[in-house]
Structure 1
Amino acid sequence: MAKQRVKLTAAEKSELFAEAVITIVLLLLLDLSVVILIYLTVLQNKNLVNGIFFLKKTITFAGGHHLWSWHNIFIGIMAVGDLLVLYWRLIRRYHQMQLRHVISELHYIANGHFDHTISFKVKTDLQKVIDSINSLVDSTVTAMNEEKAIEKSKDELISNVSHDIRTPLTSIIGYLGLLKSGISDLADQQKYIDIAYSKAEQMKSLAHDLLEYTTLQSTTTKLNLAPLHLYSMLEQVEAGFELEAEKKQIGFNIEVRPKDLTIQADPEKLVRVYNNLITNALKYGSGATQINLIANLVNKSQVELRVENNGAKIPADSLKKIFDRFYRVETSRNTKTGGTGLGLAITKSIVDLHHGQIRCESDDSWTRFIITLPLGSSKAKNTA
């Protein structure tokens, strides 16, 4: 929206008109006084009169025209001067009115309307002040929105953690209560112990993931960068999931181009990224038979990493939220798959620390997690 000039109120227009009238009257009185003084001075000096007459006769223009009467020229000069003074007075008063409008806008903002900007423009240096005020307002609004988002995020975090802790904790207390009562037989006791232990492991996993996530979100978290041979790393990662993949009849395929591709990254954290993505594929990639681990050199400064599986498609609505903490694709917050809802949020945090980007694409054939990382260390955070 284009900015408009300052709109004067009726009172301000009247003030400007009065300024013009008063200025004209004063200038006319001043001009009259000057003319009278000069005229009296000239008449009292015969030599001056003769000199002026001589100049008028001597100075001629094209066509033999002589110089006009001296007082007409002088009056003309004074008229031009009067117009300049009048313009200066009016523009000066107009700029004062603009300043009053800016001050009024500042008072309005200071009274709590922190999202209000000054919508008019001026042609003086005052515009720099207006631009600075608007920039400050924008920064304030952005900071306020970020603070609200942080507060909302904290509330959601507390709510989600409370829910995920309360559910297994309730089960643990319930089964331990049955064991304490002594009314169950030996077979049931072993069953209750197994369930309670499983729920305790679930709580431990949640606590571990939550601690890791909050650590990664800290501004003081640094990376231990080192040269990382991608093909060797992917082979080691694949070996760690080989047995679980065989049980689900899922095969691995590793592709690295060029095969000796090496990047500067934090090996431990990047392995965690792959562990999370592969675990996600094994748990949620229903019907998958293949997981591809692909690394390609994009250009001289970037590398693209892919983890693909040909399992069930992720709904489009879920793709927008898949990296949100505690988000699960399942419609209910059940934990049958054993997930904490933090794995992909941790993955994104690690990628962000490397100053990279991650996105997810999913169709009927493949679900792909695509990561773009800087090839070197110049854009990543290093440790002291």
Structure 2
Amino acid sequence: MKLTGREKTELFLEGIVTVVLLLMLNLSIIILINESILTNPGLRDGIFIIKKSIVIGPDHYHLWSWENIFIALMLIFDAAVVYWRLIRRYHQMQLRHIISELHYIANGHLDHRIGFKFKGNTQSVVESINALVESVIKSMDEERAIENSKDELITNVSHDLRTPLTSILGYLGLIQDKQYNSEADLLKYTEIAYLKAKQMKSLVDNLFEYTKVKQTGTPLSINRIDLSQMMEQLVASFELEAKKSGLQISAQGTDKPMHIEADAEKLGRVFNNLISNAIKYGKGGHHIYLACKTGRPGEAVIHVSNDGPKIPKKSLNQIFERFYRVDESRNKDTGGSGLGLAIAQSIIDLHGGYIAVTSDDKLTTFAIHLPFKYGDKLSRPKQDQEPQIAK
């Protein structure tokens, strides 16, 4: 920290005033001591005896001039006092500069940091202040992100609800106004309104599920489940639906039991979402592969893969965001609510695991990493590249 000219002058005057006061104090003390010795013969004789009894070195030198010794000690004391006063004032100036920097930051210059380098506790204070500013800015950014996220959520939900609601009102309006030519038209209108109502209910259910699993402290019903058996059940459940879409679903690595502690119902929701997406967006492919295996120590890895069209690279980092759709379409005929993968990720987070996704011309693979024991938490590798399952 560089001192200003005014501060240097202030330090200099502080030193001069301190020296003058100390010299006056020293002179006063010497005069008082001499006056006491001259007016008190007993004291004078006692000092003489002390001088005579004190010897220094092998040659037995006597201390006859006590005034010189006293003055030397006083000078050492004076130097210590002057140093202490100047250092104290210098620290006050440092504090004044730090406070000035704080006022500058508080006036809205949040990108500014205190760049002074000090020693000892003062440097710790500066580092703590900079860390506090960083924390405040991070909290403000997170709060803005939350507000933007809420606005985006309201916008997306409003849009997704308004579209089918408009259709429902339109067709029910036609029915109410008797603007249909036959009973077949009436049945057609009611069927469309019913399908749109189911679409709205599905969105509301997904939204409710998403908000529920995103809440901290969401209760889980933890049981010991066999992943291998769950994979076989999933294959049986989706076999007919996959076949209708020209896909064959199969499971590998299920010949031996693999037990983990998890919420079976919520994990089922995760796999249902992933397999449903694989059926919906895997058109053009022929296979959906499920596999479970042991990963790193204490970790189970479940792969849900399909050989359909690959996911664009730019979409891989956004695919788990709520309401995100790879086709950037809000048409419910081509895309779902956009909440399925966000729900899946939230459920896996609750279990202490994570989901990774890779996609190339051969396979698109969602890899679910789960700890064997509930309560453990897995760390995501910095560069998580999931190996594709060889076929």
Question: Shorter-normalised TM-score: what interval?
Answer: 0.7 to 0.9
Equivalent in the alignment of 1:8? 3
- Percent identity over the alignment is 53
8 Å CA contact 1:109, 1:116 repeated in 2: yes
The Cα shift of 1:301 comes to 1.8
8 Å CA contact 2:52, 2:62 repeated in 1: no
8 Å CA contact 1:116, 1:137 repeated in 2: no
8 Å CA contact 1:300, 1:375 repeated in 2: no
- Structure 1 pair 91–185 and aligned structure 2 pair: CA distance change class (3 A): same
SS in 2 for 1:241: helix
Equivalent in the alignment of 1:215? 212
8 Å CA contact 1:60, 1:66 repeated in 2: no
Larger deviation, residues 39-48 vs 95-104: 39-48
Residue number among 267, 273, 277 corresponding to 2:274 in the alignment? 277
What code does the residue aligned with 2:10 have? E
Equivalent in the alignment of 1:83? 79
The Cα shift of 1:72 comes to 4.1
Equivalent in the alignment of 1:287? 284
8 Å CA contact 2:325, 2:338 repeated in 1: yes
What code does the residue aligned with 1:217 have? K
Equivalent in the alignment of 1:24? 19
Between the two proteins, the alignment pairs up a number of residues equal to: 373
What code does the residue aligned with 1:347 have? A
The Cα shift of 1:319 comes to 0.5
8 Å CA contact 2:352, 2:375 repeated in 1: no
Mapped to 2, the partners of 1:233 and 1:177 lie a distance apart of 47
Q: How does 1:130-149 map to 2 (within 5 A)?
A: 130-149=126-145
SS in 2 for 1:293: strand
- Structure of greater relative contact order (alpha carbons < 8 Å, 6+ residues apart): 1
The Cα shift of 1:86 comes to 0.6
Equivalent in the alignment of 1:376? 373
Larger deviation, residues 23-32 vs 216-225: 23-32
| Matching of residue 159 in structure 1 with residue 155 in structure 2 | yes
Equivalent in the alignment of 1:297? 294
Equivalent in the alignment of 1:96? 92
SS in 1 for 2:261: strand
The Cα shift of 1:276 comes to 0.3
The Cα shift of 1:120 comes to 3.3
Mapped to 1, the partners of 2:355 and 2:93 lie a distance apart of 53
Q: Deviations over 1:83-118 (max 9, x none)?
A: 111101111112222333344445555556667654
Mapped to 2, the partners of 1:61 and 1:18 lie a distance apart of 47
- Structure 1 pair 35–257 and aligned structure 2 pair: CA distance change class (3 A): farther
SS in 1 for 2:253: strand
- Structure 1: tracts of 5 or more residues without a match: none
Residue number among 146, 163, 175 corresponding to 2:171 in the alignment? 175
Equivalent in the alignment of 2:197? 200
| Matching of residue 120 in structure 1 with residue 116 in structure 2 | yes
SS in 2 for 1:288: coil
Q: Deviations over 1:279-335 (max 9, x none)?
A: 111111232211111111224421111111111110111111100111100033222
Equivalent in the alignment of 1:245? 242
Mapped to 1, the partners of 2:99 and 2:64 lie a distance apart of 52
Larger deviation, residues 170-179 vs 65-74: 65-74
What code does the residue aligned with 2:160 have? D
The Cα shift of 1:130 comes to 4.5
Mapped to 2, the partners of 1:340 and 1:84 lie a distance apart of 77
- Structure 1 pair 97–338 and aligned structure 2 pair: CA distance change class (3 A): closer
- Structure 1 pair 53–266 and aligned structure 2 pair: CA distance change class (3 A): closer
8 Å CA contact 1:258, 1:297 repeated in 2: no
Q: Deviations over 1:200-224 (max 9, x none)?
A: 2221211111111111112242110
Larger deviation, residues 219-228 vs 142-151: 142-151
Mapped to 2, the partners of 1:87 and 1:23 lie a distance apart of 10
Mapped to 1, the partners of 2:298 and 2:284 lie a distance apart of 37
The Cα shift of 1:178 comes to 3.6
Q: Deviations over 1:321-364 (max 9, x none)?
A: 10011110003322223511111111111111111111211111
Equivalent in the alignment of 1:321? 318
Please report the TM-score for the alignment, with normalisation by the length of structure 1.
0.85
Mapped to 2, the partners of 1:131 and 1:206 lie a distance apart of 48
8 Å CA contact 2:329, 2:335 repeated in 1: no
Mapped to 1, the partners of 2:47 and 2:217 lie a distance apart of 91
8 Å CA contact 2:210, 2:343 repeated in 1: yes
Q: Deviations over 1:154-188 (max 9, x none)?
A: 10011001111111222223333344342544554
| Matching of residue 226 in structure 1 with residue 223 in structure 2 | yes
8 Å CA contact 2:354, 2:368 repeated in 1: yes
Mapped to 1, the partners of 2:47 and 2:167 lie a distance apart of 120
What code does the residue aligned with 2:142 have? E
| Matching of residue 358 in structure 1 with residue 350 in structure 2 | no
8 Å CA contact 1:257, 1:297 repeated in 2: no
The Cα shift of 1:138 comes to 3.5
What code does the residue aligned with 1:19 have? E
Mapped to 1, the partners of 2:81 and 2:201 lie a distance apart of 83
- Structure 1 pair 59–194 and aligned structure 2 pair: CA distance change class (3 A): closer
